[in-house]
Amino acid sequence: MSTHVRRAAGLALTTLVLTIGMAGCKRAAEAPPTAAPTAAQAPAAPVRTREQAMAQLLALPEVQAWSEQIEKSSHGKIHGAVIEDDPAPRVIDGKSYYQLSFVENRKQAVHRRASFLVARTGDDILVEDGETDTLQSLAEWRRNIRRIELKPG
C-alpha cells in the first residue's frame, strides 16, 4: 500500500469517526431532556397508629403529672387514661388527626381533663379549648396551662 493510499484511508477513517461522533452529539442534543435531579426530597413522614398517638399523649409531662395526681389523691381508686373521642379522623387544613382525650376514669363516670388532636403524620399535637371552642398548639397550651396552675387560688 502506498503512502498516499494509507493517508487517504486514514483520512477517510478519521472523517467517518468524526461524522459518527458529531451525529451522536446531534442526537444527544435532540434527545428529550431527562428530569433534572431535584433537591433531595424528604421521605414522607410515617403514619402514626392510634396506639402510638395515645402513647405519645401519655408520655407528655403534663399528662404524666395529672395521672400521678389522680392516683395519689384517690389512693389508687381513680386512674388517668387516654380515650378516643371519635374513630373518624378530624381533618384540619388538609391534615388528618386522631381525636383523643385525657380523662379521669372514675367508677361512676369519666371526667375529661383535656381533648387533643394528634396528627396521623408528623409531630403536630393540638389541644382543644372547650371554653372558647378553639384549637391551640401544644406549645401555646403549655404556656396557658402553666399560667393557670401558677395563678394564686
Specify if 92 maps to a domain: yes
The number of folded domains in the chain is: 1
Domain that holds residue 137: 50-150
Domain assignment present for residue 13? The answer is no
pTM for the structure as a whole: 0.66
In order, the DSSP letters of 46-62 are: PBPPHHHHHHHHHTSHH
The one-digit pLDDT tens for each residue of the chain (153 residues) are: 544 444 444 444 344 333 444 444 444 455 555 555 555 666 677 899 999 999 999 999 999 999 999 999 999 999 999 999 999 999 999 999 999 999 998 888 889 999 999 999 998 999 998 888 899 999 999 998 766 554 444
Q: From residue 141, how far is each of 48, 79, 132, 135, 146 by CA, in Å?
A: 22, 23, 13, 9, 8
Residue 80, domain member (yes or no): yes
**Predicted pLDDT of residue 22:** 45
Asked if residue 85 is part of any domain, the answer here is yes
Residue 26 falls within a domain, yes or no?
A: no
Q: What pLDDT sits at residue 133?
A: 87
Provide the pLDDT for residue 147. Answer: 60
Q: Within a domain: residue 127?
A: yes
Q: Report yes or no on 117 lying in a domain.
A: yes
Whether 101 maps to a domain, the answer reads yes
Q: What is the pLDDT at residue 38? A: 54
From residue 140, how far is each of 16, 66, 147 by CA, in Å?
75, 18, 11
- Cell numbers linked to 32: 428529550
pLDDT of residue 28: 47
